[in-house]
Structure 1
Amino acid sequence: MGFLFLYGGVALKALFATILAPMAPLPNQVGAIIPDIPHPDPKALAGSGFVLPNIQRATITDRNGQPLALSLPVVQVYANPMEIIEPEDVAKQLHSILPNLNIPETIRRLKQKKQFVYLARNIAPVDELAINNLGIPGIYFENGEQRHYPLGTLAAQILGAVDIDNHGIAGVEKYFNQRLLSDRTPLRLSLDARVQAAMRDELNEAKTRFRAIGASAILMDVHTGEIIAMISLPDYDANNFAHASDDARFNRAVTGMYEPGSTFKLQTAAMALQLGVAHPWDQFSTTPIKVGRFKISDLKTDHFAPWLALPSVMAFSSNPASAHIALDVGRERQHDWLKNMGFLDRVPVELPEAGRPIVPSLKNWGETTVMTVGFGHGVAESPLAIVRGTATTGNGGYLVTPTLLARDHLNDDVVMAEEEKGPHLISTHNADLLRRILRLVVTKGIGKKAESPGYLVGGKTGTAEKIGAHGGYLKHVNITAFTGMFPMNAPRYALYVMLDAPQGTAETHGWTTAGWIAAPTFSKIVTRVAPMLGLFPVPPEKAQQLDDQLALALTPPVPPGVRRPLGPGNDPGAAAVNRLAAKHTPHHAH
């Protein structure tokens, strides 16, 4: 009787626990992610009662620890049809728990002469418990995980995606696939989710207002190369990669190649100064250059003098004058400069989608190419390549390597070892001079709408006609861009903004050039994100003092002792222009 009483008690308890009143497990017992601890330290949870989920792929976070991609525990339901007695009844029972289950298809699978068929993938652990409670022989479970991107569209093209087997197939997920599978420590990116979201809002507003077909923006630390934000529009919900359009998946920041337009004049000025070919006081002709049936001229010339000093060439963005500077540098030195600056190769960054620039071969790099490249045509570069080149003038002349991985510092003064800075391609003196020229573009040149009060921005506009699908330039269809830095007294960040094929408005008086479209977008982004980066506007009095220190005359005086400054009657590029003009003049005109 005693043993009967004991066994009866056990049976009664089992009856209540399994059939009459089963208790649902706690969230941590079915493998739910512990809030705010993407991959907790087992030692830290010892004795807490938590059960770690069986997650294999590491979490990806922004620089501040905000999860951007994480894996959630899920279960796959499969069956052995050879053990299923009544397929129709089983399908109906499963459908009562999984309402999205296709009953006819499930019945078909359960009637197959196989020993293994999947019935449902990625179900929640609570649904696993409910199905298990049905007690159906032949139904089994397989533990797994599903990648989730909690911020949706934020940095979708950067994060990429994983396939059904949890292997990276695009973006950071693909580039760091082995790292994410072998090390559960969260992968910390250089992105700042707050800045990324704010920049996307401003860029999307500009894209909508100007009815552009696409847009891109990049914010980079000029000292470390860390990419703080990278936007490409249109974008998509990262959780819906498989159904996103090709246009939305296309990362315009690293895969798209665009003629840089006048943003490339920064490189023309930089190489001329660094090679000692030109000086701030040298002057260059703005007279249109005719080469056969083509003409190199400026869009507006009513405020141009026949000759402009180098700072004025940049401030007013003269194409013929830039072509003369490039000719003074010459074919070999121009090609070598662009090669050393990384413009002839793929920009090194942790994204498999990063493309190669479109540039002529050296054998086709003639004097006409020298001139057109001098003002940003004839080559196609990624936005990341342009912002990298801009950063070189703001950090003392070092070519940094862009990266999506966070460094150890957070918004404090950066002290880097010399070997970490990259090649020193521009002298400190010339880098400071270029910094002052870029500030001049905003204070007195065509980039005035990029000004952000108190932040001392500087930069360069760039407008280039788009090339059609069948070749040839499309009239009045432009790529408008602005590349710059802030604050110019001590640059911390380089910012590039581009809109693809914007349309003019009453506000822009119908113009679709960078000064009217990209420059004001640049200003709005700086004003909004700078405080997030720990930068605050300086008072007007202090700003004026700093501006006075950065001041540079549009036409600097010739220093004493300079015997033959470049200018009227002493321009090496003029000889090349005359030679080209003669070469392309019809025979009967001689």
Structure 2
Amino acid sequence: MPEAPADPAEESATGTPSLNIPHVQRAPITDRNGQTLAVSLPVVSLYAHPDELIEVRHVVEQLKEILPALDVKKTIYHLEHNKKFAYIARNLTPREEVQVNNLGIPGLYFENSEKRHYPLGHVAAHVIGGVDIDEHGISGIEKYFDDRLASDRTPLNLSIDVRVQEVVRSTLIDAVSHFNAQGGCAIVMDIHTGEIIALVSAPDFDANQLNKTSMDARFNRAVTGDYEPGSTLKLQTAAMALQSGKIHLWDRFSTTPIHIGRFKISDLSTDHFSPYLYFPEVLAYSSNPGAAHIALDIGEAKQQEWFKKLGFLDRVPVELPEAARPIYPSQAQWKITTVLTVGFGHGIAEPPLSILRGVSTLANGGLLITPTLIPAKNRINPVQPIRVMPKTTSDQLRKILRLDITRGTGRKAEAPGYYPGGKTGTAEKIDEHGRYMKHTNITAFAGVFPMNDPKYSVYVMLDAPKGNASTYGFQTAGWIAAPLFSKIVLRVAPMLGIYPNFADSKQIEEGLAMPMQPAIPAGVRALGPDYDPGEMRLEMESAKKSHHF
């Protein structure tokens, strides 16, 4: 077969046209340990200069005998309507290349090119993303770093650890199947550097078959999905309360259902709380009215200020183009009802990675980190952590996080020897019409381990799980998400160089202990019955809304 003539725009050194289609090899992508996640392999493509072909239909018929997958009708149309250049087939095998070459048909040429290959298939597919037929990134890391991958052949090293990624993936997929959920996600992150060690969304897909994958499977629930956080967001209510200096651990808050117009904020019918709970009890038992009252005492301005400071009102900063912006009320709409509902984790929707970033900040000493898929050592001009609270406040919050597992709703998240802390979160799903769906929940758990020396944060979420015999029919986070968190911690901790410590258990637990009902310092008037600045405002607002409706 004759050599390819040049593109009309190019000439050789002698001035003779010759087709030398320039091609830049795309760089590989590896995990933090050098394991290949994406690599371009050499392939051969068949193309034609249609104006050089004699009897196009006969040529296509001959090619069909060698290339069974060739669409005859489409190829003939393509060749008859593109006189200068037309691809016929890509990714020919060596045998096919030889057989086509032996036909000796003028006007047919071969192009040495490459095809992206993902050797681990499903592993980290949502992170890596994919490329189009011309090797241009169209999603994930492939798109975010498209220019870098196309211009620099040095492997792009990610923070992902495929060992941890696969363990998290298999554990999550088992849970999705066991609870017949619509999907789910899980994330593991270094709380000091922001490095994402694992990020999984289920269902997932084989990255080699991206063009054949459904939109549901391609949807990255970890960064693209916006979900009401439920009680995981109560941790932020607690943080802003302690940070304000207005509220203390010994203050008490009403658990009586809140009626404001036609809205009602209450706890589950199975909860039988005291009329007033101490601050730690509100968090451990996850009282909705209690958290709403705390938020009300903080007020609109401070709540918005805190959410803005923690990044909850912006797109979560990570190297994935699919990262979504949160959904929240406008400043004009951010009134008392919003303060109350956001206070216990509703009325606002956030990507899971944003929630995990916030929890990591509470446990790492009070520094807001930037999530990243690039190892700290490889980052150019990294964003420095921003202090949003003193370490003393973070130390109090770590104890509250631990309390939720030792004595609260997160008991099934316990991982013996690792002393984790965290918070359950259950929120009713919202349908396409903006209405809450009864008995259809988003169940989540956001936590950190080990709480005596925090290193990693973990977020798990199941979308619309079904309760079964193992949960006695319950479909709340304490029964579904908390055990999933525990399984992941127990499996990945040793991979991350963290091993269970039973020898120092007594000392560690004493260091993390917090009384559920802290003593009131002498001479201090604590918030509680007959003394809560927010109560009077709530009564006035409730009366106004009741009259309006």
Fold equivalence (TM over 0.5) = yes
**Structure 1 gap ranges (5+):** 1-17, 19-52, 410-416
The answer to whether structure 1 residue 119 and structure 2 residue 88 are counterparts is yes
Who is 1:284 aligned against?
253
Who is 1:180 aligned against?
149
The answer to whether structure 1 residue 454 and structure 2 residue 454 are counterparts is no
- Given the two structures, how large is their TM-score scaled by the length of structure 1? 0.85
The answer to whether structure 1 residue 579 and structure 2 residue 548 are counterparts is no
Secondary structure, counterpart of 1:579 in structure 2:
helix
CA offsets per residue over residues 147-202 of structure 1, 9 Å max, x none? Answer: 11111111222211211221111111111111111111111111111111111111
For 1:156-305, list aligned pairs within 5 A: 156-300=125-269, 302-305=271-274
CA offsets per residue over residues 520-564 of structure 1, 9 Å max, x none? Answer: 11111111111111111112x42232112111111111234x421
Shift of 1:111: 7.0
Which has the higher Rg, Structure 1 or Structure 2? 1
For 1:39-54, list aligned pairs within 5 A: none
CA offsets per residue over residues 228-280 of structure 1, 9 Å max, x none? Answer: 11111111111111121111111111111011110000000000001102111
Q: CA separation of 1:279/1:110 partners in 2, compared to 1, >3 Å: closer, same or farther?
A: closer
Secondary structure, counterpart of 1:142 in structure 2:
strand
For 1:95-174, list aligned pairs within 5 A: 95=64, 97-102=66-71, 114-125=83-94, 127-174=96-143
Shift of 1:118: 2.3
CA offsets per residue over residues 183-225 of structure 1, 9 Å max, x none? Answer: 1111111111111111111111111111111101111110001
| Conserved? CA contact 1:55–1:72, under 8 Å | no
Who is 1:381 aligned against?
350
Shift of 1:284: 1.0
Comparing 220-229 and 564-573, the one that deviates more = 564-573
Aligned with residue 76 of structure 1, among 45, 52, 66: 45
RMSD of aligned alpha carbons: 2.3
For 2:279 and 2:479, the matched residues in 1 are separated by 23
Aligned with residue 525 of structure 2, among 544, 550, 564: 564
Secondary structure, counterpart of 1:151 in structure 2:
coil
Who is 1:484 aligned against?
447
For 1:359 and 1:395, the matched residues in 2 are separated by 26
| Conserved? CA contact 1:55–1:71, under 8 Å | no
Who is 1:309 aligned against?
278
- Given the two structures, how large is their TM-score scaled by the length of structure 2? 0.91
| Conserved? CA contact 1:315–1:441, under 8 Å | yes
For 1:421 and 1:491, the matched residues in 2 are separated by 19
| Conserved? CA contact 1:224–1:421, under 8 Å | no
Aligned with residue 523 of structure 1, among 475, 486, 495: 486
Who is 1:24 aligned against?
none
Comparing 572-581 and 169-178, the one that deviates more = 572-581
Who is 1:542 aligned against?
504
For 2:324 and 2:80, the matched residues in 1 are separated by 50
Secondary structure, counterpart of 2:376 in structure 1:
coil
For 2:415 and 2:143, the matched residues in 1 are separated by 38
Amino acid in the other structure paired with 1:435: R
Shift of 1:100: 2.7
Comparing 82-91 and 494-503, the one that deviates more = 82-91
For 1:330 and 1:300, the matched residues in 2 are separated by 28
Aligned with residue 438 of structure 1, among 389, 396, 401: 401
Q: CA separation of 1:261/1:112 partners in 2, compared to 1, >3 Å: closer, same or farther?
A: closer
Amino acid in the other structure paired with 1:291: I
Secondary structure, counterpart of 1:516 in structure 2:
helix
Aligned with residue 473 of structure 2, among 497, 505, 510: 510
| Conserved? CA contact 1:55–1:145, under 8 Å | no
CA offsets per residue over residues 353-383 of structure 1, 9 Å max, x none? Answer: 1111111011111111111110001111110
Comparing 385-394 and 161-170, the one that deviates more = 161-170
Aligned with residue 369 of structure 1, among 323, 329, 338: 338
For 1:105 and 1:470, the matched residues in 2 are separated by 43
Who is 1:329 aligned against?
298
| Conserved? CA contact 1:450–1:523, under 8 Å | yes
Q: CA separation of 1:431/1:134 partners in 2, compared to 1, >3 Å: closer, same or farther?
A: same
Q: CA separation of 1:105/1:252 partners in 2, compared to 1, >3 Å: closer, same or farther?
A: closer
For 1:264 and 1:557, the matched residues in 2 are separated by 26
| Conserved? CA contact 1:439–1:458, under 8 Å | yes
For 2:217 and 2:455, the matched residues in 1 are separated by 31
For 2:271 and 2:345, the matched residues in 1 are separated by 22
Shift of 1:308: 1.1
For 2:260 and 2:75, the matched residues in 1 are separated by 72
For 2:359 and 2:349, the matched residues in 1 are separated by 16
| Conserved? CA contact 2:262–2:546, under 8 Å | no
CA offsets per residue over residues 457-513 of structure 1, 9 Å max, x none? Answer: 110000111111112211111111000001111111111111111111112111111
| Conserved? CA contact 1:84–1:110, under 8 Å | no
Amino acid in the other structure paired with 2:395: D
Shift of 1:98: 3.1
| Conserved? CA contact 1:398–1:421, under 8 Å | no
Amino acid in the other structure paired with 1:456: Y
For 2:73 and 2:236, the matched residues in 1 are separated by 66
| Conserved? CA contact 1:219–1:229, under 8 Å | yes
Q: CA separation of 1:110/1:252 partners in 2, compared to 1, >3 Å: closer, same or farther?
A: closer
For 2:30 and 2:362, the matched residues in 1 are separated by 30
For 2:83 and 2:155, the matched residues in 1 are separated by 41
Shift of 1:436: 0.6
Who is 2:17 aligned against?
none
Secondary structure, counterpart of 1:314 in structure 2:
helix
CA offsets per residue over residues 109-136 of structure 1, 9 Å max, x none? Answer: 6677835332211224554345334443
| Conserved? CA contact 1:350–1:403, under 8 Å | yes
Shift of 1:103: 5.2
Who is 2:9 aligned against?
none
For 1:433 and 1:467, the matched residues in 2 are separated by 34
Amino acid in the other structure paired with 1:212: A
